Amino acid sequence: MVHELIMKSLVLLFTAAAAAAQTPCNLSAYKEQPGLKAYQANGRLEVAWSGERGDQLMAAFAIDRGAPVVRELAVKSKDGRSTNLGHNLTPEFSVVTGMRRAGHGMPDELRWWVYWDAPLSIPGRGDNPNLPRKPEEIRRAAAAFASRSCEARTEGARLEVEFDGVSMGLFAGKLRYTVYRGANLLRVETIAKTEEPSVAYKYTAGLKGFSTAALQRVAWTDVGGSEQHYEFGGEPNRDPVPLRARKRIAVAGGRAGSVAVFPAPHQFFFARQLEINLGFNWYRKDDAKSFSLGVRHGDNHEGYNPVWVERVFALYNAPPGTWQRMPVYFYLSAAPARQTREAALAYTHGDTYKPLPGYKTMVTHFHTAFTKELTDSGSLDTLAPWIPAMRALGVNIVYNCDFHGDGHPNDPGSVRLKELEAYYEACRRHSDRDFLILPGEEANAYLGGHYNILFPKPVFWTHRRTPEQQFIEKDAKYGAVYRPSNTAEVFEMLKREDAYVWQTHPRTKGSHGYPDKIRETDYFRSDHWLGGGWKALPVDLSEKRLCEKRCFDALDDMNNWGRPKYLLAEVDTYKKFPEYDLYGDFNVNYVKLGTLPPARDWSPLLKALREGDFFVSTGEVLISSFRVNGSSSVTAEVEWTFPLEFVEVVWGDGDRVRRKIVPAADTGPFGSRRFEIPVDLRGQKWVRFAAWDSAVNGAFTQPVHLEAASRRVAR
């Protein structure tokens, strides 16, 4: 009997020892701090952290047959309510890969900047080389795990738990869990790379193993604004069930708590030129007792497939050797589903642009066919559906671009002028004291590449003229009418009317090679050329800034070349309808304006743009002020929702570009800080500031040219 008891004790001892050794975790890079702790116990790594509104959260990690699982996920609210949100959750990741091709006449080495590419479209159409595509180019793979150990490390106010041994088709790498002090967030991501030469891809991510007993339903708001839910009482699913969830968020809820799931607000979305919600969230009932939850992309535009859209489903870039980060966010709460959804949406201000005193929000570059839609309806007072959709975002100014595939932009006579007359009148009628529609145009005539043109007031002009017409004519109804037929005349019109232009999508699409090809022209070197447009195109998930290479390279080059040039946030999309999900594809200019100018003369706005008195933001990061302190430092006031990643100062001397990066991982969510950064600007030409958060949302100021700034201070 005693022998049997001894044996049982030994068995229990060896079993416990084996369990404890099950997850060897390196804690050498971990440093305990208040509100953020990690410790090994019971054969697992346990992480505890303080969340929002007094919540305390806990996650336990282990390796189970090679898989880096979440043994336990729990939250305790400030009032003492505790709930277990998950047990034995397994990460679930998969990729679909295709071949990245060049386009727009670009050489193959610039294939990573391509826009007109749809790697999953078989056989494909357009001007990409080596078409048709072959079915064998497309490969699908789920992640396989062979983890042997983990590493826990603190970085500022966050704690990362990383596991090796992840393989996923063409990719190989690691899996990382991240928690943030002061936030109820759990970020789960695969970080992997490929050595293949031309990979484009998309990914699906989530967690598998949630209990239908603990979380009985999944809830979401549909694209029409109605609340929906699914009770886990039906038959098991074979595949993920896509949810067209408004604002890209779904919540699994129960009697004692909830888990929300959502993608990164902006970097998750590659440019498509349509903001149709394709079902970016998913659930799957795996059996009677468990379900999975995550984020996804579809394979195409589904039923929304005009010919030109079929050519634009570019996916993400994966240049060889780059570490691609593929995250999904979970928000953990002891509250009911509806309350949890609102708490998670606070990270995007509820998908609105937060008002900032002294600033007005401006979005640009929309081909809504506004004039045609209203004239076809029979009344200029018809309310176009994009207007309430943009108002709901908190937008004050919309720069619209009619006559881009609609209307008659190349008509030299009365048809074009009548359309302009209707355009200007429609913009006036639908503007008000807090919402201004600017009648702009992506004219693309004579100056090189694609460009937007903005006059300070209504101006009548045509893109061409007949032999008997003059460059400038007086019209009894329209006044001065411009009919430029060459570059010099367009530039003369800009000078006479104090108008401004900027290169849309520089160095890609219809602006491949621009503004580089026109850098020495008189019109580019003048103040009438504002700069270029900024949009997350292409998307490379290894980058820490949106449009890191194409856009900011162009901005810095332009300012090294000569006079001040800026990047204006541009969206570059088409019609909008109420069910579209706009925020993830949008960005905004915060322009320093106390009040909106009137709809008949918006020259104060152009003055602010010309002086660089605006910053660009995705919405989550705001820069309320930026100041250059002589040649020794810069100061910026920054506000954010997601914890910050870093802030940076970038400057140039007319030849080279330098930057100083200040890590900001010590920040929690929903904070603000005044950054004063020493930097030696002696002998430098210009300087700018940017801030980027942990979800790759960001904001940046426009370059300040130091000689001009010194003259203003001296005055």
**pLDDT tens digits for 75-126?**
998 888 889 999 999 999 999 999 999 988 899 999 999 999 999 999 998 8
> Is the pLDDT higher at 368 or at 42?
368
Reported as a single tens digit per residue, the pLDDT across 378-422 is 999 999 999 999 999 999 999 999 999 999 999 999 999 999 999
What is the reported pLDDT for 714? 39
On the 0-12 / 13-18 / 19+ scale of CB atoms within 10 A, 409 is buried
Average pLDDT, integer, range 326-339:
97
Contact 212, 206 (CB under 8 A): no
- Grade residue 304 by pLDDT with cuts at 50, 70 and 90: confident
Quickly list H helices, 535-678.
Answer: 550-561, 603-610
Separation between Cα atoms, residue 248 and residue 243, nearest integer Å:
9
pLDDT at 78: 87
Predicted confidence (pLDDT) per residue in 44-72, tens digit: 999 999 999 999 999 999 999 999 999 99
pLDDT tens profile 129-161: 999 999 999 999 999 999 999 999 999 999 999
CA distance 686 to 701: 12
| Cβ–Cβ < 8 Å for 72, 47 | no
List the domains of the chain with CATH numbers. Answer: 2-348 (2.70.98), 359-619 (3.20.20.140)
- Residue 275 binned pLDDT confidence (cut-offs 50, 70, 90): very high
| Region 434-456 average pLDDT | 97
pLDDT at position 324 over 60: yes
* Percent of the chain residues topping a pLDDT of 70: 95
Q: Which residue, among 473, 500, 499, has the nearest Cα to 484 in the 3D structure?
A: 473
How much is the pLDDT for 10?
A: 28
Bridge partners for 387 per DSSP? none
Question: How confident is the model at residue 305, as a pLDDT?
Answer: 67
Are 617 and 606 within 8 A, CB to CB?
Answer: no
The residue-averaged pLDDT of 696-706 equals: 98
Span 673-678, mean pLDDT?
A: 98
Q: What are phi and psi of 346, to 5 degrees?
A: -60, -25
* Mean pLDDT over the full length of the chain: 94
- For 520-551, letters b (16+ CB in 10 Å) and e give eeebbeeebbbbbbbbbbbbbbbbebbbbebb
- pLDDT, position 6: 33
Q: Give the residue from 461, 367, 361, 376 showing the smallest Cα distance to 421.
A: 461
> Does residue 15 register a pLDDT over 80?
no
Tell me the pLDDT band of 653, cut-offs 50, 70 and 90. Answer: very high
